[in-house]
Amino acid sequence: MGSTIKGLKTLVWLLGLQLSLGCADSSTTLSIATGGPAGLYYPIGGGMASIWSANVPGINVRAEVTGGSVSNVIQVARGESDLGIAMADVISDAYKGEGLFPESLPLRVLLSAYPNVIHVVTVAKTNISSISDLAGKRVSLGAQGSGTAVAAQNILSGLGLQESDYAS
C-alpha cells in the first residue's frame, strides 16, 4: 500500500510539473472532471486540485462534480473540462469508439492513479454461487454512466451473461 501511495504522489507531482511547463499564462485555471461527491473520484480529484493549486505557480485547478467516468471522457473530448478521471475500460472504449461511444474520442492518458478491483458479492440466502446464477435476478452494477457500471457489464458479458439476462 505504501508503494502505491508513494507512486501516486510521484505521478501527481510529475503531472503538476508538466502542467506548469505547458502553461505560460500566470493565471491559468484548469478543471478536472471527477465524479459524484459520495464516490472516490471527487475526493481524489479535489486532493489533486489542491496540491497542484498550492504547489504549481500560476495554476489554479478546480475539481468538478460529474456523473463519473463516461461523462468525464466526453467532457474532456469536448473541451468542457481540461482533465478527467476515468476507469480504463471507459477510456479504452471511448478511444476506440466502442460500447457507449459511437465514435472515437480524441483522448490522451496522462497517468494511472491506482489499480482498480471489481468484486461480485451477494448474501448467502440467495443461493447464488456462480455468475450464471445471476440470470433472471436483479443485479446492481453501479451508478449509470460510472466506470464501475461499464466494467461490471464488461465482466459479466465476458463471462457469458448479457444485459438481457438480468435486471439492473
**Residues 125-139: tens digit of each pLDDT:** 998 999 999 999 999
| Confidence (pLDDT) at 7 | 53
- Is the predicted pLDDT of residue 51 greater than 80, yes or no? yes
**Residues 58-74: tens digit of each pLDDT:** 999 999 999 999 999 99
What does the pLDDT average to over 23-28?
Answer: 63
Q: What is the DSSP string of the chain?
A: -HHHHHHHHHHHHHHHHHHHHH--STTEEEEEE---TTSSHHHHHHHHHHHHHHHSTTEEEEEE--S-HHHHHHHHHHTS-SEE---HHHHHHHHHT-TT-SS----------S---------GGG---SGGGGTTSB----STTSHHHHHHHHHHHHTT--GGGSB-
pTM above 0.85, yes or no: no
